[in-house]
Amino acid sequence: GAVVSQHPSWVICKSGTSVKIECRSLDFQATTMFWYRQFPKQSLMLMATSNEGSKATYEQGVEKDKFLINHASLTLSTLTVTSAHPEDSSFYICSARPTLRGTVYEQYFGPGTRLTVT
Amino acid sequence: AQTVTQSQPEMSVQEAETVTLSCTYDTSENNYYLFWYKQPPSRQMILVIRQEAYKQQNATENRFSVNFQKAAKSFSLKISDSQLGDTAMYFCAFMKGRGSGTYKYIFGTGTRLKVLA
């Protein structure tokens, strides 16, 4: 089946540093990937849509200079949280939409990355 | 803009019983998809069931079924013969249909379901 991985699964960083989270589609190519943020006991909020070879599309209210997204290949998208602060601590989830798919809604989620900023 | 509302923050059900989770949505679109996702403690999102808006027949997947009322914009999930492994957060989600150019999910606030032994 289609598998999406995220690395790391958990990261702790100091305030002011940057941290990169990877999202990989392991057995399929994904032209489009999505990045979500989930605070404890809350829903998933879409942060941005990542398209291979082009700039990401950010949702309203998401700081594009703080959350840098790079989708450099058909199997990898990265989210870099720059100058992280404690309020950036959250669970970050990606999903990947296969380039070749049987349905328009086909999409697969990664297992998530827990970010803790101290 | 589309919105998805889940009015039940928490629910509990006895093992082997049936429970229904509610979801309403608001959209001006005529072509769209609705989903129920399960998020267990591992936090991996798992697709439970999906409904295409153009289909009148309610979707069914084993113990899971939906009651899709398009005019009322309601999309409830029924879990029959509840099992301990069904304990999880359940999210209702909306996605615009073909031709929209965007296939992003809009999630509801979630319902935390606990199955009691």
For residues B81-93, average pLDDT: 98
B21: left (phi over 0), alpha (psi -120 to 50) or beta: beta
pLDDT of residue B1: 81
Query: Among all residues of chain A, which has the CA nearest to that of B109?
Result: A43
Rounded Cα–Cα distance for residues B56 and A60 (Å): 34
User: Model confidence over B26-77: pLDDT tens digits?
Assistant: 999 989 999 999 999 999 999 999 999 999 899 999 999 999 999 999 999 9
A43 contacts in chain B (CB < 8 Å)? 91, 107-110
Residue B94, H or E segment: strand B88-96
pLDDT of residue A53: 86
The pairing of strands B60-61 and B106-107 is: unpaired
Q: What angle do CA A5, A8, A10 make, to 5 degrees?
A: 120
Rounded Cα–Cα distance for residues A117 and A21 (Å): 14
A25: left (phi over 0), alpha (psi -120 to 50) or beta: beta
- Alpha-carbon distance A111 to nearest alpha carbon in chain B (angstroms): 5
pLDDT of residue A11: 97
pLDDT of residue B41: 92
pLDDT of residue B97: 83
Residue A59's CB: how many other CB atoms inside 10 A?
Answer: 15
pLDDT of residue A103: 82
User: Model confidence over A68-94: pLDDT tens digits?
Assistant: 999 989 999 999 999 999 999 999 999
Q: Does residue B101 surpass a pLDDT of 80?
A: no
User: Model confidence over A14-39: pLDDT tens digits?
Assistant: 999 999 999 999 999 999 999 999 99
CA separation, residue A49 to residues A57, A71, A86, A97, B109 (Å)? 5, 10, 24, 11, 21
Beta-bridge mates of residue A22: A7, A78
Three-state DSSP class for residue A29:
coil
pLDDT of residue A100: 82
For residues A96-104, average pLDDT: 85
Interface of A with B (CB under 8 A): 32, 34, 38, 41-46, 49, 91, 93, 95, 97, 104-105, 107, 109, 111-112
Q: Does residue A101 surpass a pLDDT of 90?
A: no
A103, A109, A113, A115: which to substitute to probe chain B, counting the most B Cβ within 10 Å? A109
Which residues 25-84 on chain B approach chain A with CB closer than 8 angstroms?
33, 35, 42-45, 50
B103, B107, B114: which to substitute to probe chain A, counting the most A Cβ within 10 Å? B103
pLDDT of residue A105: 84
For residues A54-74, average pLDDT: 93
Please, is A60 exposed, middle or buried when counting C-beta atoms within 10 Å of its C-beta (0-12, 13-18, 19+)?
exposed
Interchain proximity A43–B91, CB inside 8 Å: yes
pLDDT of residue B106: 94
Amino acid, res. A10: W
Rounded Cα–Cα distance for residues B14 and B22 (Å): 18
